[in-house]
Structure 1
């Protein structure tokens, strides 16, 4: 079968929600959080992303670890959870989030085919590096790039430009994958051939930037780019 996206030289992945399950942080401590665990996890993620957009608009960048803590504080307060030990456990879990089930096999497939792979994330190195190391997938990535280098969050074009700077590959040769529709559109607008990993079956955000493809999870990536299984 012919590849839907021929000519790809490198796959670049968003981290949170794409390779790694941010919900696993709360899931591990469901008993400590209590009956509001699912709604807290959802709010935490929503606020985390919202705060990055607001900080971009304000010109007030802060490391993603700080933003993640601020989002968690808001969510805990909303759910009337005041135990500092719960906060400590949840933040600690963010340093070792679970990869989605299909991720190790997919990355191994790309590696066998000699496909270059990297991460481009809002996370700062102090939180990304421990997470990738804990997953035992670090050797599958040529590099883990952080927005910390430019002091702005996605979808600022300076973030996507880091891929050109570090790897010397033109945007049209990059397959960028994100579970965040707004991130996928931002990357497509920049010039990447972008795949939205729509894990929840959500409607498209209809933002600028034409998506190259949409998948339910990453197991379909090798076929999309013509990599043998």
Structure 2
């Protein structure tokens, strides 16, 4: 454990791709989508994130639910899927994404050790609240923070600043975790002590902001924080 992690007062998790598997929406309705399901899932996530960055550049914020729907519309058109029922199923599934398998036990270990836990997500409350509730994990978190309070998406510093505003913890006492390399670097550049959850075993993007550790999934986090 590094000295920076030893000073952790609050663990803050990204939601989509870090705690919750965004691919579970497509997996749940694979039969309705057909053989293009995996390609659709990959493009949907890529467009979803791309649209947030483009909206930040344009100064044109809209809630993540709208952005997610716009991204899905593009992907359905790109793959020649015109069944409105498929769109409805996928959007509804996004309100109850599956947590990754290791997440409940990991959160319980941290809670038993007295760690404070929160979520900071691009999602808007209308998406996050039902998803966290459906997962059965809501009572693990003292706060579920949304970019909707800053009206801009990650990695803008105004988003990361919400943690201190709402939880009263200085950036250098926050352990921030994200599976998105760009988000991990953005948070580190802001001043969080950041761990990249590299689920895809991808190469580092080399962006500004130095992460303190890289793990393959969240089962490794308690040991990283010195929690038995």
TM interval, short-chain normalised: over 0.9
Kindly tell me the number of residue pairs found equivalent between the two proteins: 226
Shift of 1:167: 1.1
Say whether 1:60 aligns with 2:77. Answer: no
What pairs up with 1:126-165 in 2 under 5 angstroms? 126-165=126-165
What pairs up with 1:1-229 in 2 under 5 angstroms? 3-4=1-2, 5-228=5-228
Shift of 1:226: 1.3
Shift of 1:135: 0.1
Q: Quote the Cα distance in structure 1 between the aligned partners of 2:62 and 2:78.
A: 23
TM-score, normalised relative to structure 1 = 0.98
- What SS does structure 2 have at the residue aligned with 1:186? helix
- What SS does structure 2 have at the residue aligned with 1:204? coil
TM-score, normalised relative to structure 2 = 0.98
Gaps of 5+ in 2: none
Shift of 1:227: 1.7
- What SS does structure 2 have at the residue aligned with 1:107? helix
User: RMSD between aligned alpha carbons?
Assistant: 0.5
Shift of 1:183: 0.2
Deviation per CA, 1:138-167: give whole Å up to 9, x if none.
Answer: 000001000000100000000000001011
Q: Quote the Cα distance in structure 1 between the aligned partners of 2:72 and 2:165.
A: 33
